[in-house]
Amino acid sequence: MADKVELCVRRELLDPNFDGYKLSLDPLPTYTCKLGNGIAFTSLSEDQYSYHHAKLFGVHNHLYVDPWNTDCVYFIDSGWSIVQALSTGTSVTVTGNVGIVPDLNRQNSVTGRLNAALCFVSEDLAVVGDGAGKLHLYFTGARNSSQPWKIVFSNDPLENITPFLLVDAVLHTVDSTYKLECLCVHVIECNAEQKDKYRSTHLTVIEWITVSSGDKITWVQERSRRLYGRRPYDYAAFSKDGSALVVGAEADFVFEYDSLKPVREEEPMDAETNGQEKPEPEYTWSQNTEEVTCGNHLLKGQLFGDIDVEGSTWTIQDQRVEVTLSKCEEQVWSHIVVGDNRGEMTMDPAMIAQIHERLAGLTSDQMNPDPEEGKEKPYNSQQLEECDVFPDESSSIMRFDGDTHKITHQTNTGSHQFLFSASLDKDKPLALCLRHDVDGIMWQPENQCKETELPWQHVATFNAFGYVQASKQNRKFTLCAPDCSFAIICDIWRHAYVYRQPEPIATPVRNRKDGRQISHVAKQQVVSLECTDHIVGVQATSQKLYILTESVLHAVQINSGIQIQSSVSETSMWN
């Protein structure tokens, strides 16, 4: 059974006084390069009509950045050549074809094929999934040279040569053996048994393929694992040590198959359903909105919330230690120490009365109470915007152990919409951004963590970004810079919007409404492309934004060193 964990927000990374984004007309230098052979992309067929299929095609990014050389980006052209482009300070140029994806004519005719995808796993290795059922491992050599890539392994990793989309890949070592973990995703139509079990007409299938080598020359496929999900995923990535898989989705994914070990269904953990008595708690604790009181046990770990150390006390009575923790904020704790479920909370009578008093205002003994009676008006669902609507089902982030098949950690995210994912560190899994209130908060999954440790950490905040993204009806791609200095929203065509973190200004300005002096300003800038082709890929580094359309590659210099001047408009620009 998964250890339920909370999303612990770091308050020092929040800005409660954020005033909004100010539209800046500072120019962003943009360099372009026309493509000679177009982009290889696949459209939905008549048989790919489900929401699962639409999600796989809709989120695919056709542009790839090399984590070991961020001046280079790559794409696969219509002739299935792997093309390298180099960006310098004043230009972006296509340097040439570095590799070929084999069997273009035959693989293009495969029914139900998906898009080809590229993933870099080390300084000299890259993986390509052709979307039609083939997996290719390339030895690239030093990628800053013109050396052509050489295929060292090709295989049909899935049963019946099923077409798949390559989503992630990592390279790691176990006892001097190189292991390549590949995440391959496809969609299946449910049979009668699966429809009854999963209550869905289609399933998203995550295939976990392991390929190994002793010398990085000869490779063999040694293991395959499979997970089913009745709803599409929003996020899926390996830990960099290859031991775990993290999935974020609107419904749970479950392990269904492992070629090396049988997959057993997890036994229910409710002791009462197993005919056993519920074990006695090792300690009891109580709380109100201001304090937490516990005793008779040694607790160690991260507290659920922040406390006022000076206002906290401890006493000894009848050989019993009682600790009283003063909360910094009036909130209800689900645990004292995160991940510690050994205690039992006993409700404080004063707190029960307070809860009843608060709930009383939300209920009525009348069938149709007068909404105009009294000063406070009732809640009106029509005031909700589209950005405030959350999924009916409980979304969650799940961390799967690849060997035991168990969910080691799980966090409910039903009230936090998924915004985007981005690579912040090549040595860590993809980070994911969730909406908290109106903000976007970046969560970085850890490579390894104990059961009592938090598996994902709050590392950055994009102020009001949840609200901003919800207002962009034509958006297609969302991402951020690895250093989180800016976030990007790209429309289907022509426009990209840059949202910078607050920066100091040369001369402080004063807010016209409340008279507050403002020393930092967050800018919004707009990138307008001259071509009207659809945008098919986007990547960002700490300095540049790369935008790929069907016929042109654009490189936008984001961090140009231009300082915000005091003439910046004082009008907030949330959209």
Q: Which H/E stretch holds residue 517?
A: strand 517-528
**Is the pLDDT assigned to residue 562 strictly greater than 50?**
no
pLDDT of residue 288: 74
Q: Which residue has the higher pLDDT, 452 or 545?
A: 545
- What average pLDDT does this structure show over 96-123? 94
Q: How far apart are CA 271 and CA 304, in angstroms?
A: 26
- What average pLDDT does this structure show over 497-519? 82
How far from the centroid of its chain's Cα atoms is residue 61's Cα? 15
- What average pLDDT does this structure show over 42-58? 90
Average pLDDT over the chain, rounded to whole?
84
pLDDT of residue 515: 73
CB distance 21 to 499 below 8 Å: yes
Q: How far apart are CA 524 and CA 498, in angstroms?
A: 6
Q: Which residue has the higher pLDDT, 451 or 360?
A: 451
CA neighbor of 434 nearest in space, from 400, 460, 454? 460
Single-letter amino acid code for the residue at 483:
D
Provide the 3-class DSSP secondary structure of residue 307. Answer: strand
**In the chain, pLDDT over 70 holds for what percent of residues?**
83
- What average pLDDT does this structure show over 23-39? 92
Lowest mean pLDDT among 67-76, 337-346, 456-465: 337-346
Matching residue, tokens 């898009």: 115
pLDDT of residue 531: 85
146-204 pLDDT, tens digit per residue, is 789 999 999 999 988 999 999 999 999 999 999 999 999 999 999 999 999 999 999 99
Q: How far apart are CA 336 and CA 293, in angstroms?
A: 9
- What average pLDDT does this structure show over 52-59? 89
Domains defined for the chain, CATH in brackets: 3-7+16-35+156-266+391-557 (no CATH), 285-345 (2.60.40.790)
Contacts of 512-517 with C-beta under 8 Å, sequence gap 24+, read 512/570
Matching residue, tokens 């807010």: 511
CB distance 483 to 501 below 8 Å: no
**Is the pLDDT assigned to residue 516 strictly greater than 80?**
no
pLDDT of residue 58: 84
Q: Is 114 left (phi over 0), alpha (psi -120 to 50) or beta?
A: beta
**Is the pLDDT assigned to residue 374 strictly greater than 50?**
no
pLDDT of residue 3: 60
- What average pLDDT does this structure show over 457-485? 94
pLDDT of residue 328: 81
- Beta pairing partners, 153: 137
pLDDT of residue 357: 58
pLDDT of residue 273: 41
